[in-house]
Amino acid sequence: MLRLIAVISLMCFSGLTVNADESTPTESSNDVRGQQLASYLSGKKFVGRFTVDGSTKFDPKVEEYVISNCEKMPADDMYRLKARIKYGNVDQEVPLEIKILFAGETPVITLDSMWIPGMGTFDARVLIRRDRYSGTWQHDAKGGHLFGMLEVAEADEDEDEE
């Protein structure tokens, strides 16, 4: 009887160990996921609107971001983007090295007091899911929400008026 309990215990614990190992993402699966995300974001246009906290009326402003190129960097969760940012009077192309974390399988663009040349310092959390994006942003004392759709950018869209 003791032998049977020992065998059953061994089988149960062996099964738990195997399952734990199978559910833990490996470095190579993270590399694949990172490369897939970089490929997905390259050539994408984020088209949407943003709000400003404290505004007396709900009047979302238009915004547009075109990512002409995205590549996974060697450092964990880091990506290099070539992006054209358009909102208000801003229309500028900038290189960005940003952190993109994952909440499960959902990528979350993560800016922590990031200085963007010619624009200022920003904090943001923007999640991407099924060709939609939404999140929060902060620029100095102003902040708010942003949301919109992801589209395939035209090949020369980030080179307009050059």
Instruction: Let me know if residue 19 belongs to a domain.
Output: no
Instruction: Determine, yes or no, domain membership for 136.
Output: yes
Task: Assess if residue 18 is contained within a domain.
Answer: no
31 pLDDT above the threshold of 70: yes
Q: pLDDT tens for residues 67-86?
A: 999 999 999 999 999 999 99
The verdict on residue 78 lying in a domain is yes
d(CA 162, CA 152): 21
Identify whether 20 is part of a domain. Answer: no
pLDDT class of 58 with cuts at 50, 70, 90? confident
Strand partners, 128: 133
> For residue 54, is it within any domain?
yes
- Could you give the 3-state DSSP secondary structure of residue 158? helix
Number of domains in the chain: 1
Integer Cα distance of 85 and 27 in angstroms: 32
Show contacts of 109-117: CB within 8 Å, 24+ apart.
Answer: 109/135, 110/77, 116/85
Radius of gyration of the chain (CA): 21
Which of 1-15, 51-65, 141-155 is predicted least confidently?
1-15
Q: What is the CATH number of the domain that holds 49?
A: 2.40.128.120
Evaluate whether residue 139 is within a structural domain: yes
Domain that residue 151 falls in: 27-159
